[in-house]
Structure 1
Amino acid sequence: MTETTRRTLVVSAGGAGLAAVLTACASYGSPTSEANAAPQNEEPSSDAPKKKSAKKPKALADTSDIPSGGGRVFEGQKVVVTQPVEGEFKAFTAVCTHSGCTVASVSNGAINCPCHGSKFKIEDGSVANGPASDPLEEKEIEVDGGKIRLI
């Protein structure tokens, strides 16, 4: 006669319970039949919820805020936007390439750094007057509906 100990009973019951749980987990979320499964290469139906299009970034400025032949510095965003000729807008980093100061103004066709007197051209951010030797990095903008947005 075989003696069944309490340990043997717990281990046997535990193993059976574990097998039941694993079987249940393996089938969770799976179709119960091939008839319920969606074909793998099928396009989503027109009833499927549509993804929202990407929201446009907040406008930095209105085009009317940027004077023709001049520009404006946006300190919070560390960007300067210029309008070298009527209707053409450019954007550059507002961080001077000489010593990292933020440029302060745009006047007489130049972006001006107050720290050491560097000046950059509003057309392309190139150096107009040192001590800076590298141009300002151009930033990508979108002009749409009278609004200027950083991309």
Structure 2
Amino acid sequence: MKKFILLVAVSSTFIMCKKSEATKSQLEGAVQSADSTVTATSDKISDITNTAEAVFDSANVKIKEFDDTKNVIKEKIEATSKSVDSLSNKIASTKLESKIEKKDSTKKGSEKIVINVPSPKIIKETKVIYKDKKRKKMMN
């Protein structure tokens, strides 16, 4: 009986050791997979960060280009408004004078006489009367 108890104790010890070894290997595998997942995630985050920085840099470049274009357009508008102002000042200072012609009393024959003649009336409908039809109606 002592041998039997000793055998059960030794075998249970071996089983417990094997279970703990199996648990250790499962934990190590889980730690390794978690570590690889964390590494992959950190790589993705760094890629996203690099992409976001590139987008922000290109956006900043575009904004600077828009600012430069805005300044060029403002300068052109100001130059155009100055030229328009100078032209309007020149137009305002210019005086228009008309030449008065004197009529000569000897040139009365050059005047034209206008006569109103009514236009002929347009007939919209024409009624045709056949003589043969009247005779046929009277005969009946």
TM-score above 0.5, yes or no: no
Q: Normalized against structure 2, the TM-score is what?
A: 0.29
Higher strand share: 1
Q: Normalized against structure 1, the TM-score is what?
A: 0.27
The structure having more radius of gyration, on CA atoms, is: 2
